[in-house]
Structure 1
């Protein structure tokens, strides 16, 4: 027995490890062509994993370089070592999937309980309904912001008009009447003030202001 044959290869075989985890689900044949994971045979899977996912070939090459050849039992041990590494990684991945499913299942269960529904489809329908309501609320908020902006604009215009009247040396009594109109809090009140100030019938005042009225509901004419 020469020195090369006396070398114990166990240290090298024990060093088989995963070195390409990304190949766990990307299966390739001996020519490097992608194989469908769901239709690949057990032999194709095993050959892929030991050759493409572990350092199986590198370990055997090292033994071959030192001994000049690889004995059958050495190759068998290397294959077993590669299989153990792959199965260990599969177990880790499977455990992650199971835990993730359990977490998602518990979340779904709590959601069903909170929503007081019995099935996932009912929950989806409820969430769709909530989504539509949220959209409606968003539209209302936008309308409210638009109204607030319009109110701010109106108040600014009112103050500027008052200032302009003062600067123009308008009769103070007229300014009082204008302030009275601005102080009203509804369209109907403003129309009534117009009747008093201009000594007109309500119908006549409405003819003057009708283009400005878009949303208010006017009181019935006398």
Structure 2
């Protein structure tokens, strides 16, 4: 075989482990930070670990008993071409992906009426806070629904207990009136009548039980 066969060596060099493109290793096999590796370390990694450069030269050495300097140069060029072509494809992919995402982001900007990425970020932050508020409201609503269910069950149990214990109809009617009220202030008014208490005394009793309602404390008797 002679140097006229050299281009065949160049054509035989192919990428064999493209997944190693960004996992740079030195000649001892230690990983090097991509940003810290110099040009020689990068290319040595690419041709030895990413392509079949070594295998191509070993095959030529087995065939003719040696490898010429020109043949080795052709293998180096073949490895460089394969790596550069892969990087080109990756670069084009990133550009196209960026263009698609850029167009999508522009659509978002237009829809929500903002013109900059910073304004869009602020808008997303405000949405995030609103979503959190909605979640809190939903949790509060579920808690309130659970409490209402518990209250209704307790009310029915109390009514049943009064009947089972043969409590007078007069007392049962008073209990029903208490359960039928829909306002804390109404309870205060009702309590003063039912229990013959002063309003101030009834307010003190009610205050010990409530947590959220606002009481009308005007005209204390």
TM-score calculated relative to the size of structure 2: 0.84
> Gapped runs of 5+ residues in structure 1?
none
Residue matched to 2:62? 65
Q: How far, CA to CA, are the matches of 2:2 and 2:121 in structure 1?
A: 68
Aligned match for 1:131, one of 128, 132, 135 = 128
Aligned length: 219
Asked if the contact 2:51/2:79 (under 8 Å) is kept, the reply is yes
Q: Is the 8 A contact 1:184 1:190 kept in 2?
A: yes
Q: Which stretch shows the higher mean deviation, 179-188 or 201-210?
A: 201-210
Name the SS of the counterpart of 2:208 in structure 1.
helix
Contact 1:195 1:205 in 2 (8 A): yes
1:17 alignment partner, SS class: coil
Tell me the alpha carbon deviations over residues 155-209 of structure 1, each in whole angstroms, 9 at most, x when there is no partner. 1111111010000011112111211111111112222222333344433332333
- Say which is worse superposed, 85-94 or 22-31, in terms of deviation: 22-31
* Residues 55 and 166 (structure 1), Cα distance of their counterparts in 2 relative to 1, 3 Å cut: same
Deviations 1:103-146 (A, max 9, x none): 33223323322332222222222222222222222222222222
1:92 aligns with one of 78, 89, 93: 89
Does the 8 A contact of 1:203 with 1:221 survive in 2? no
C-alpha separation in 2, matches of 1:17 and 1:128 = 48
Structure 2's unaligned 5+ residue stretches are: none
Q: Give, in whole Å, the separation in 2 of the partners of 1:141 and 1:87.
A: 55
- 8 A Cα contact 1:16 1:78, kept in partner: yes
1:48 and 2:45 aligned: yes
Conserved 8 A contact 1:9-1:63: no
CA RMSD of aligned residues (A): 2.7
The 1-side partners of 2:50 and 2:211 are apart by 73
Q: Contact 1:20/1:54 (CA < 8 Å) preserved in 2?
A: yes
Range with bigger deviation, 71-80 or 117-126 = 71-80
2:146 to 136, 146, 149: 149
1:50, distance to aligned residue in structure 2 (A): 1.7
1:36 deviates by: 4.6
Residue of 184, 189, 211 corresponding to 1:187: 184
TM-score normalised to structure 1 length: 0.83
